[in-house]
Amino acid sequence: MKQKFNVITSTCVPLPLENVDTDQIIPARFLKATTREERFFGDNLFRDWRYKADGSLNKDFVLNDPTYSGCILVAGKNFGSGSSREHAAWAIAGYGFRVVISSFFADIHKNNELNNFVLPVVVSESFLAELFESIRKNPKTEVEVDLPKQTVTNKATGKSEYFDINGYKKHCLMNGLDDIDFLVQNQKKTELWEQQRK
Protein backbone atom coordinates (compact mmCIF):
# COMPACT_ATOMS: atom_id res chain seq x y z
CA MET A 1 0.00 0.00 0.00
CA LYS A 2 1.35 3.43 -0.92
CA GLN A 3 1.35 5.23 2.43
CA LYS A 4 3.16 8.54 2.49
CA PHE A 5 5.94 8.64 5.00
CA ASN A 6 7.05 11.46 7.27
CA VAL A 7 7.70 11.25 11.02
CA ILE A 8 6.62 8.16 12.94
CA THR A 9 6.68 7.90 16.74
CA SER A 10 5.69 4.58 18.24
CA THR A 11 6.37 1.94 20.86
CA CYS A 12 8.23 -1.11 19.56
CA VAL A 13 8.01 -4.87 19.25
CA PRO A 14 11.43 -6.39 20.05
CA LEU A 15 12.76 -9.51 18.29
CA PRO A 16 16.35 -9.82 19.51
CA LEU A 17 17.23 -12.81 17.31
CA GLU A 18 19.87 -12.68 14.57
CA ASN A 19 19.55 -14.07 11.02
CA VAL A 20 15.74 -14.06 10.98
CA ASP A 21 15.11 -15.53 7.53
CA THR A 22 12.12 -14.89 5.29
CA ASP A 23 11.00 -18.53 5.68
CA GLN A 24 10.31 -17.64 9.35
CA ILE A 25 8.70 -14.30 8.47
CA ILE A 26 6.28 -16.14 6.18
CA PRO A 27 6.58 -19.93 5.63
CA ALA A 28 6.44 -21.21 2.04
CA ARG A 29 3.03 -22.85 2.43
CA PHE A 30 1.48 -19.37 2.66
CA LEU A 31 2.95 -18.25 -0.66
CA LYS A 32 0.24 -19.83 -2.76
CA ALA A 33 -2.01 -16.77 -2.88
CA THR A 34 -2.33 -15.19 -6.30
CA THR A 35 -3.35 -11.76 -5.05
CA ARG A 36 -1.65 -9.24 -2.79
CA GLU A 37 -3.76 -9.88 0.30
CA GLU A 38 -1.76 -8.04 2.93
CA ARG A 39 -4.28 -8.98 5.61
CA PHE A 40 -3.82 -12.70 4.89
CA PHE A 41 -0.04 -12.42 4.90
CA GLY A 42 -0.12 -10.25 8.03
CA ASP A 43 -2.23 -12.86 9.84
CA ASN A 44 0.48 -15.41 9.07
CA LEU A 45 3.50 -13.26 9.94
CA PHE A 46 5.97 -15.44 11.90
CA ARG A 47 3.33 -18.17 11.72
CA ASP A 48 5.41 -21.05 13.06
CA TRP A 49 6.74 -18.99 15.95
CA ARG A 50 3.34 -17.51 16.79
CA TYR A 51 1.49 -20.83 16.84
CA LYS A 52 2.49 -24.22 18.17
CA ALA A 53 2.35 -27.34 16.00
CA ASP A 54 -1.15 -28.13 17.36
CA GLY A 55 -2.40 -24.70 16.23
CA SER A 56 -2.58 -23.19 19.72
CA LEU A 57 -1.08 -19.79 20.45
CA ASN A 58 2.58 -19.75 21.56
CA LYS A 59 2.24 -17.33 24.48
CA ASP A 60 6.03 -17.01 24.75
CA PHE A 61 6.38 -15.36 21.33
CA VAL A 62 6.62 -11.59 21.39
CA LEU A 63 3.73 -10.93 18.97
CA ASN A 64 1.45 -12.76 21.43
CA ASP A 65 2.66 -10.77 24.42
CA PRO A 66 0.30 -7.82 25.07
CA THR A 67 3.16 -6.02 26.85
CA TYR A 68 4.55 -5.08 23.46
CA SER A 69 2.83 -3.19 20.68
CA GLY A 70 3.45 -0.50 18.10
CA CYS A 71 4.26 -0.12 14.42
CA ILE A 72 8.04 -0.46 14.78
CA LEU A 73 9.68 -3.89 14.72
CA VAL A 74 13.16 -3.99 16.24
CA ALA A 75 15.14 -7.04 15.07
CA GLY A 76 18.61 -8.55 15.45
CA LYS A 77 21.37 -8.44 12.85
CA ASN A 78 20.87 -9.81 9.31
CA PHE A 79 17.08 -9.48 9.22
CA GLY A 80 15.29 -10.96 6.19
CA SER A 81 17.99 -13.31 4.93
CA GLY A 82 17.26 -16.18 2.55
CA SER A 83 14.40 -16.32 0.08
CA SER A 84 13.51 -13.28 -2.04
CA ARG A 85 9.78 -13.70 -1.35
CA GLU A 86 8.18 -10.25 -1.22
CA HIS A 87 5.38 -11.94 0.72
CA ALA A 88 7.63 -11.37 3.77
CA ALA A 89 7.40 -7.61 3.28
CA TRP A 90 3.65 -7.91 2.62
CA ALA A 91 3.28 -9.84 5.89
CA ILE A 92 5.20 -7.19 7.83
CA ALA A 93 3.15 -4.40 6.26
CA GLY A 94 -0.07 -6.40 6.59
CA TYR A 95 0.51 -6.90 10.29
CA GLY A 96 0.77 -3.13 10.66
CA PHE A 97 4.48 -2.47 10.94
CA ARG A 98 5.69 0.68 9.17
CA VAL A 99 9.32 0.58 10.26
CA VAL A 100 11.86 -2.19 10.89
CA ILE A 101 14.98 -1.26 12.86
CA SER A 102 18.04 -3.52 12.74
CA SER A 103 21.81 -3.24 12.56
CA PHE A 104 21.90 -5.14 9.25
CA PHE A 105 19.39 -6.20 6.58
CA ALA A 106 19.63 -8.78 3.83
CA ASP A 107 19.72 -6.99 0.45
CA ILE A 108 16.67 -8.35 -1.34
CA HIS A 109 14.40 -8.09 1.67
CA LYS A 110 15.48 -4.51 2.31
CA ASN A 111 14.45 -3.55 -1.23
CA ASN A 112 11.18 -5.43 -0.80
CA GLU A 113 10.37 -3.45 2.34
CA LEU A 114 11.13 -0.15 0.59
CA ASN A 115 8.95 -1.15 -2.37
CA ASN A 116 6.09 -1.69 0.07
CA PHE A 117 6.47 1.55 1.99
CA VAL A 118 7.94 -0.15 5.03
CA LEU A 119 11.06 1.74 6.09
CA PRO A 120 14.14 -0.34 6.97
CA VAL A 121 16.27 1.71 9.36
CA VAL A 122 19.88 0.59 9.78
CA VAL A 123 21.38 1.56 13.13
CA SER A 124 24.72 0.81 14.80
CA GLU A 125 25.19 -2.35 16.89
CA SER A 126 25.47 -0.22 20.04
CA PHE A 127 22.30 1.77 19.29
CA LEU A 128 20.44 -1.49 18.68
CA ALA A 129 21.73 -3.12 21.88
CA GLU A 130 20.77 -0.06 23.90
CA LEU A 131 17.32 0.05 22.30
CA PHE A 132 16.68 -3.61 23.17
CA GLU A 133 17.76 -2.78 26.73
CA SER A 134 15.47 0.28 26.91
CA ILE A 135 12.52 -1.80 25.69
CA ARG A 136 13.35 -4.57 28.18
CA LYS A 137 13.34 -2.06 31.03
CA ASN A 138 10.26 -0.23 29.79
CA PRO A 139 8.11 -1.90 27.12
CA LYS A 140 6.42 1.46 26.51
CA THR A 141 9.68 2.98 25.26
CA GLU A 142 9.00 5.09 22.21
CA VAL A 143 11.16 5.56 19.15
CA GLU A 144 10.89 8.48 16.74
CA VAL A 145 11.77 7.87 13.12
CA ASP A 146 12.09 11.14 11.20
CA LEU A 147 12.44 10.44 7.49
CA PRO A 148 12.89 14.07 6.35
CA LYS A 149 15.78 14.51 8.80
CA GLN A 150 16.89 10.87 8.46
CA THR A 151 17.16 10.43 12.21
CA VAL A 152 16.08 7.69 14.59
CA THR A 153 15.74 8.54 18.29
CA ASN A 154 15.43 6.30 21.34
CA LYS A 155 13.13 8.47 23.48
CA ALA A 156 14.11 6.62 26.66
CA THR A 157 17.75 7.63 26.43
CA GLY A 158 17.40 10.59 24.09
CA LYS A 159 20.09 9.07 21.86
CA SER A 160 19.72 9.78 18.20
CA GLU A 161 21.37 8.39 15.06
CA TYR A 162 21.43 9.45 11.44
CA PHE A 163 20.34 6.74 9.00
CA ASP A 164 21.11 6.37 5.34
CA ILE A 165 18.63 6.42 2.44
CA ASN A 166 19.19 7.77 -1.05
CA GLY A 167 17.47 10.99 -2.03
CA TYR A 168 15.41 9.37 -4.77
CA LYS A 169 13.90 6.69 -2.52
CA LYS A 170 13.28 9.20 0.25
CA HIS A 171 11.36 11.38 -2.21
CA CYS A 172 9.34 8.31 -3.30
CA LEU A 173 8.45 7.34 0.27
CA MET A 174 7.48 10.86 1.28
CA ASN A 175 5.31 11.33 -1.79
CA GLY A 176 3.77 7.89 -2.25
CA LEU A 177 5.56 7.21 -5.55
CA ASP A 178 7.04 3.91 -6.67
CA ASP A 179 9.78 2.73 -9.03
CA ILE A 180 7.33 1.45 -11.62
CA ASP A 181 5.90 4.95 -12.06
CA PHE A 182 9.44 6.20 -12.65
CA LEU A 183 10.44 3.44 -15.09
CA VAL A 184 7.29 3.75 -17.16
CA GLN A 185 7.87 7.50 -17.45
CA ASN A 186 11.39 6.73 -18.70
CA GLN A 187 10.44 4.24 -21.43
CA LYS A 188 11.55 6.59 -24.22
CA LYS A 189 14.99 6.78 -22.67
CA THR A 190 15.10 2.99 -22.52
CA GLU A 191 14.11 2.68 -26.19
CA LEU A 192 16.84 5.11 -27.16
CA TRP A 193 19.36 3.12 -25.13
CA GLU A 194 18.27 -0.10 -26.88
CA GLN A 195 18.78 1.51 -30.32
CA GLN A 196 22.24 2.77 -29.41
CA ARG A 197 23.23 -0.65 -28.09
CA LYS A 198 22.65 -2.37 -31.45
Partner 1 sequence: MNTLFDKIWDQHVVQQVEDGPTQLYIDRLYCHEVTSPQAFDGMRARGLKCFRPEKIYCMPDHNTPTHDQDKPIADPVSKTQVDTLARNAAEFGLTHYGMLSKDNGIIHVVGPEKGLSLPGMTIVCGDSHTSTHGAMGAVAFGIGTSEVEMVMASQCILQQKPKSMRISINGTLGKGVTAKDVALYLMAKLTTSGATGYFVEYAGDVVRNLSMEGRLTLCNLSIEMGARGGFIAPDETTFAYIKGREFAPKGDDWDKAVAYWKTLKSGDDAVFDKELSFDAADIEPRITYGTNPGMGIGITEAIPANGRMANSPEQNFQKALDYMGFKPGQKLLGTKVDYVFLGACTNGRIEDFRAFASIVKGRQKADDVIAWLVPGSWAVDAQIREEGLDKVLEAAGFAIRQPGCSACLAMNDDKIPAGKLSVSTSNRNFEGRQGPGARTILASPLVAAAAAVTGVITDPRTLL
Binding site for partner 1 (CB under 8 A): 16-19, 21, 23-24, 27-29, 31-36, 48, 53, 76-78, 81-87, 89, 104, 106-108, 111-112, 115-116, 166-169, 178-180, 182-184, 186-187, 189-190, 193-194, 197
- Biggest CA–CA distance in the chain, Å, is 63
First CA to last CA across the chain, in angstroms? 39
Task: State which amino acid sits at residue 53.
Answer: A
The smaller minimum CB distance to partner 1, of residues 95 and 104, is found at: 104
CA-CA distance, 86 to 108, in Å (whole number)? 9
Shortest distance (Å) from residue 166 CB to partner 1: 5
Shortest distance (Å) from residue 15 CB to partner 1: 11
The smaller minimum CB distance to partner 1, of residues 3 and 140, is found at: 3
Shortest distance (Å) from residue 10 CB to partner 1: 25
CA-CA distance, 137 to 153, in Å (whole number)? 17
The smaller minimum CB distance to partner 1, of residues 19 and 64, is found at: 19
Task: State which amino acid sits at residue 102.
Answer: S
CA-CA distance, 98 to 187, in Å (whole number)? 31
Shortest distance (Å) from residue 38 CB to partner 1: 11
The smaller minimum CB distance to partner 1, of residues 140 and 176, is found at: 176
Provide the 3-class DSSP secondary structure of residue 85: coil
Tally: H helices and E strands in the chain: 9, 7
CA-CA distance, 4 to 101, in Å (whole number)? 19
The smaller minimum CB distance to partner 1, of residues 41 and 95, is found at: 41
Shortest distance (Å) from residue 83 CB to partner 1: 5
